[in-house]
């Protein structure tokens, strides 16, 4: 992993699929097209630096797991968009959407992820992880610049509702062992993990725009923290 040194602002190309924005030695954003081992290492490094500075090192495993899950979801959404485009399937047509998702899941593999990550980059699709923090709290956004289908939006809302119903990860797994949702259950698990850390799960939001999807996690560290929800920011 390339080491960044020096002060001030800089943007660094770590590899052909990772770009970092650094300020005063701290990672403020990470842009990628697939979640490789190197991307995972940079996520872990950023989380460690932030939480060490804010003296909350015990949150590192939870926060790292959540960001990694969100980044994987974002990259897969972009890759799925490429898959649909190549096969001429419309994400607005329910029957074509269902067929495309089924085929994508049946074909998905690590090799395919790498291949479609490269294709996503060529088409201008990306996953951007933004880190903002101060002594009062942390805001992390995982953004992918592709819209999602209505069916997918409905599924996301259902997963989040399911996550709000549980406080115990073990019980959640027992009750959902036979589900067909697969990796999508990660969204529900995020809410359960936040509850386990004593963080209000309402600080986690999925914001769906016309041409992007934003997963935003806010972590208050003091009573002075102002949620973007409370400040009426989008």
Give domain status of residue 226, yes or no.
no
Give domain status of residue 229, yes or no.
no
- Asked if the model's pLDDT at residue 219 lies above 50, the reply is yes
Give domain status of residue 233, yes or no.
no
Give domain status of residue 16, yes or no.
yes
Number of domains in the chain: 1
Q: What is the pLDDT of residue 4?
A: 39
- Asked if the model's pLDDT at residue 49 lies above 70, the reply is yes
- Name the more confident of 227 and 129: 129
Among the listed residues 147, 125, 148, the one whose alpha carbon sits nearest the alpha carbon of residue 31: 125
Residue with structure tokens 């960001």? 67
Give domain status of residue 1, yes or no.
no
Give domain status of residue 234, yes or no.
no
Give domain status of residue 225, yes or no.
no
Spatial distance between the Cα atoms of 197 and 193, rounded to a whole number of angstroms: 6
Question: What's the domain range around 158?
Answer: 11-220
Length of the chain counted residue by residue? 234
Question: pLDDT by residue (tens digit) across 135-171?
Answer: 899 999 999 998 888 888 888 888 888 889 888 878 8
pTM, entire model: 0.87
Give domain status of residue 4, yes or no.
no
Q: What is the pLDDT of residue 43?
A: 92
CA-angle at 123, arms to 119 and 124, nearest 5°: 115
Q: What is the pLDDT of residue 178?
A: 59
């Amino acid at each position: 992993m390339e080491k960044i040194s020096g002060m001030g602002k800089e943007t660094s190309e770590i590899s052909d699929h990772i770009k970092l924005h650094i300020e005063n030695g701290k990672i403020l954003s990470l842009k990628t097209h697939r979640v490789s081992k190197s991307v995972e290492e940079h996520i872990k490094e950023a989380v460690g630096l932030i939480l060490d500075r804010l003296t909350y090192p015990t949150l590192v495993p939870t926060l790292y797991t959540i960001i990694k899950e969100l980044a994987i979801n974002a990259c897969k959404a972009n890759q799925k968009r490429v898959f649909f485009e190549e096969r001429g399937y419309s994400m607005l047509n329910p029957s074509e959407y269902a067929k495309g998702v089924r085929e994508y899941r049946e074909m998905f593999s690590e090799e395919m992820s790498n291949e479609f990550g490269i294709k996503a980059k060529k088409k201008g699709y990306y996953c951007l992880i933004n880190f903002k923090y101060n002594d009062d709290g942390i805001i992390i956004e995982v953004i992918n610049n592709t819209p999602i289908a209505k069916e997918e939006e409905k599924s996301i809302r259902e997963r989040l509702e399911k996550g709000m119903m549980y406080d115990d990860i073990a019980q959640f797994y027992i009750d959902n062992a036979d589900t067909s949702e697969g990796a999508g259950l990660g969204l529900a698990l995020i809410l359960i993990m936040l509850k386990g850390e004593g963080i209000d799960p309402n600080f986690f939001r999925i914001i769906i725009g016309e041409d992007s999807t934003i997963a935003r996690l806010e972590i208050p560290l003091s009573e002075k923290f102002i949620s973007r929800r409370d400040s009426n920011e989008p």
